[in-house]
Every structure is written in C-alpha cells, then in structure tokens.
C-alpha cells in the first residue's frame, strides 16, 4: 500500500506568488473512459478544437474524437525501413564489390543471397528506430514542464481518472460557458489550469 498522505515537499506551490500567471484552460475530470469519450465528442461537436484528453490507458477513438484522425508513424517507419534496406545493401555492395573486392569461394563479388540477412536486419533496425523516434518527435517529448501538471488532481491521470482539457487559446473558449458546458458532461470536477 502506498501512503496516501502527501509530504509537504510535493504540495503545489502557493499560486499567489506569481503575478503574471495566465489561464491555460479548463480541465474536467471523469471517472470512466466512456464518459471522457462522450464528452470529447460533444466538445468537438460544440466547435472546440484546441483541447486534449488524458487517460491512464489508450482509449480507442479518443484521438479521433479530438479531430486527430491520422498518425504519420507508419510513414516514418516505411521511409526508415527503406533507407535501412537500401543503405545496407549499398554498403555491402560497395565494400564487397567495389572498395575491397574479395574472392570468397569463387562467388561473384555482388553475391546478393549472402547480403540478404544484413539487409533484412538493418531494414528492421532503421524502421524501428524511425517509429521509435517518431513517437518522441511527434509528441514533442521529453516535455517535463506542462501546465496540466499544475493541477494536483492530474496525478490521477496516470492512475484511474480521465481528463479533458479545453485550452484558453481556443477561439470558442469562454470561461463561463466552457465551464458550464464541461459541468454538464457528467464531469466529476472542473478545474482551472494555470500556465
């Protein structure tokens, strides 16, 4: 069991000290992923676009509900794999057939069947590497400081709660109306997120 009592070291700093803090957005907390999904769909239908949903596990259809239909990761992977495969074969060909031609067992210099294993391995390696790096590039990670972390309840976003945050930058954002809208979505709680 993990102790529930937070030590003073991690309590949120008293927020009065910062003069120029700005509103980042409004965050609604949900207890079930279906509620979050429904609320997100409704928010999108209402016309909100600058928003993000947070969940402790991937919820199917949530990114689509936010208007994010397409992930370029497969394209990254394809390009990486092609570079890996062609590059590997080129490396083997140029070194074995051009730069340092070596006769091994009377085989031709460009003995392609012998070059397949390394071509395959480097295709997989470069494809995986680009998929992996793609996650970090597209998600802009590492990103240690983010306004959502200023909400103390947000700790549960990685445990058992689901959050929808409508950002203040959204053209449709209006503190009163957005709050009212979120409160109407079975939200457990609605909090203001500060920069």
Partner 1 sequence: METIQGSEPRMPDPAKPYPVTVLGYPAEMIGPKETYAKVSEQIAGIPLKHPRPMFWFVGFTFAFSLFLMFCVAVTYLVYKGVGIWGINIPVAWGFAITNFVWWIGIGHAGTFISAILLLLYQKWRTTINRFTEAMTLFAVICAGMFPLLHLGRPWVFFWLIPYPDTMSLWPQFRSPLIWDVFAVSTYFLVSLMFWYLGVMPDLATVRDKARTRWKKMVYHISCMGWRGSAVHWKHHQSAYLLLGGLATPLVLSVHSVVSFDFSVAQLPGWHSTIFPPYFVAGAIYSGFAMVLNLLIPIRRIYGLQNIITTRTLNNMACVTLATCWMVVYGYIMEAFTAWYSGDPFEKHMMWDRAFGNYGWIFWGLMLVNCVIPQLLWSRRVRTHDIALFFVALSANLGMWVERFVIVVQSLHNDFVPSSWAMYYPTKWDVMTLLGSLGLFLTLQFLFIRYIPMISISESRELIAQRKEGQL
Residue 109, CA atoms < 13 Å, CB-side half-sphere: 11
Total residues at interface with partner 1 (CB under 8 A): 72
Residue 27 interacts with partner 1 (CB under 8 A): yes or no: no
Structure tokens at 121: 């391995």
- Which of residues 26, 28, 127, 193 is near partner 1 by CB under 8 A? 127
Residue 82 interacts with partner 1 (CB under 8 A): yes or no: no
* DSSP secondary structure letter of residue 61: T
Residue 16 interacts with partner 1 (CB under 8 A): yes or no: no
Residue 191 interacts with partner 1 (CB under 8 A): yes or no: no
Whether the CB-CB separation of 40 and 53 falls below 8 Å is answered with yes
Residue 15 interacts with partner 1 (CB under 8 A): yes or no: no
Residue 9 interacts with partner 1 (CB under 8 A): yes or no: yes
Whether the CB-CB separation of 177 and 53 falls below 8 Å is answered with no
In the range 149-188, which residues lie near partner 1 by CB under 8 A? Answer: 149, 154-160
- Which of residues 49, 132, 186, 192 is near partner 1 by CB under 8 A? 132
Closer of 19 and 144 to partner 1 (Cβ): 144
Q: How far is the CB of 48 from partner 1 (least distance, A)?
A: 14
Residue 87 interacts with partner 1 (CB under 8 A): yes or no: no
| Helices 73-93/112-138 angle, 10° precision | 150
Residue 108 interacts with partner 1 (CB under 8 A): yes or no: no
Residues 163 and 185: their CA atoms lie apart, in Å, by 12
Stretch that binds partner 1, among 17-25, 41-49, 114-122, 180-188 (CB under 8 A): 114-122
Lay out the site mask for partner 1 across 51-80 (x = CB under 8 A, - = otherwise).
-xxxxxxxx--xx-xx-x--x-xx--x---
Residue 102 interacts with partner 1 (CB under 8 A): yes or no: yes
Q: Which of 170, 171, 192 is nearest to 29 (CA)?
A: 192
Residues 80 and 126: their CA atoms lie apart, in Å, by 5
Percentage helix, strand, coil, to 5, in the chain? 50, 10, 35
Q: Which of 188, 153, 191, 186 is nearest to 39 (CA)?
A: 186
């Amino acid at each position: 069991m993990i102790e529930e009592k937070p030590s003073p070291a991690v309590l949120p700093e008293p927020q009065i000290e910062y003069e120029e803090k700005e509103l980042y957005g409004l965050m609604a907390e949900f207890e079930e992923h279906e509620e979050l999904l429904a609320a997100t769909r409704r928010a999108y239908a209402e016309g909100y676009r600058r928003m993000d949903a947070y969940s402790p596990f991937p919820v199917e259809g949530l990114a689509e509900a936010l208007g994010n239909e397409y992930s370029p990761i497969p394209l990254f992977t394809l390009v990486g794999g092609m570079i890996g495969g062609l590059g590997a074969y080129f490396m083997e060909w140029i070194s074995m057939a051009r730069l340092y031609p070596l006769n091994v067992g009377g085989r031709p210099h460009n003995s392609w069947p012998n070059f397949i294993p390394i071509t395959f391995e480097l295709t997989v390696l470069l494809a995986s590497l680009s998929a992996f790096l793609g996650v970090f590039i597209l998600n802009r990670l590492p990103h240690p400081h983010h306004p959502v972390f200023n909400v103390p309840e947000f700790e549960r976003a990685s445990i058992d709660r689901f959050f929808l945050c409508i950002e203040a930058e959204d053209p449709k954002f209006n503190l009163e109306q957005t709050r009212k809208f979120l409160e109407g979505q079975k939200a457990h709680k609605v909090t203001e997120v500060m920069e």
